[in-house]
Amino acid sequence: MSWTCLLAFAGHSALDPAGPQAARIGDLWWLMFWVCSAVFLLVMAALAAGLVREEEPARRRMNRVVTGAVIATALILFVFLFASTGTGRALASLSSADPVSVEVTGHQWWWEVQYLDPVLAQRVTTANEIHIPVGRPIRIRTVSHDVIHSFWVPNLHGKHDLIPGYDGELWLQADRPGVYRGQCAEFCGHQHAHMAFLVVAESPARFAGWLAAQRQSASPPATPLAQRGHDLFVQLQCALCHTVQGTDANGRIGPDLTHLASRRTLAAGTLPNTPGHLAGWIVDSQTLKPSNPMPATSLGSNDLEALLAFLDGLK
């Protein structure tokens, strides 16, 4: 799948709402758009009339027009005030006794995603890709430990800031299946623009299947080449930062890679997840995403091939 193709199917537009909250925000946007367009046209018409007119208008008439315009402006501002207050209340009203609970942590510059479960062993940790079932409210707890980020999936909801020290909460719901692109919407450093993620909304059955697969430990290496890749992974610096469940790699600094091969992108939506891009990322991530915390890894081509075989098996 090419990168442009990926972007095409991962929609990213506040004007194409896929859930109840984005729909309310979209309604408010269109109300403001049409009212402001009408006001703009009226002002332009008044300006044109003033320019072509030859004699000065009578003072009383001018007073009436100006007073009328001031009253109309105040009324329009009140309409906007009530409409936006109503939208704010509607956004906060989504709730459920049985939501899918997800904790999203913003890091410089990627998203850690954990599916909460009272049973610790059932928790799932992934990165930069949030799967949700269609038609069910999702409760997202938001956390940051470094700087302020902002969680924004335009098709599903408005922006929500992640402020260090203050855990937040937002609710969202998708009403139709799709892959919706999200983006950090608060400048958070050098690679802020490369801090994207995907929300994959799918049928409840598909979601349940995905979650069950993510709960599994990594499948053991299937070939001798992948086995050598596994050994390299745990011996090299990789394991200091990354976790692969079921192996000795349990670093917590970078994304959990247990099911890396099941994800669509690398480096928080920066690259499509293909072997070529993954190889480039391992060998020289600093050229692809300068200042990101992952150091370059110098590897011979045989070792790189083995490492890729191992990572490719992490479905």
Which residues bind to ligand CUA, rule: CB under 6 A?
Answer: 106, 109, 149, 184, 186-188, 192, 195
Query: Least Å distance between CB 146 and ligand CUA?
Result: 9
Sequence-ordered alpha helix ranges (H) in 93-163: none
Indicate the residue among 110 and 180 with the shorter CB distance to ligand CUA: 110
Query: Least Å distance between CB 187 and ligand CUA?
Result: 6
Q: Which residues pair with 103 in a beta bridge?
A: 114, 141
Indicate the residue among 192 and 206 with the shorter CB distance to ligand CUA: 192
Sequence-ordered alpha helix ranges (H) in 55-175: 59-92
Tokens of 308: 């890729």
Query: Least Å distance between CB 214 and ligand CUA?
Result: 24
Tokens of 18: 């896929």
Indicate the residue among 184 and 257 with the shorter CB distance to ligand CUA: 184
Indicate the residue among 131 and 149 with the shorter CB distance to ligand CUA: 149
Query: Least Å distance between CB 289 and ligand CUA?
Result: 13
307 touches 229 (CB < 8 A): yes
Indicate the residue among 20 and 182 with the shorter CB distance to ligand CUA: 182
Query: Least Å distance between CB 191 and ligand CUA?
Result: 8
- The DSSP secondary structure of 239-280, one letter per residue, reads HHH-B-TTSS-B--SS---TTGGG-SEETTTTEE--HHHHHH
241 touches 253 (CB < 8 A): yes
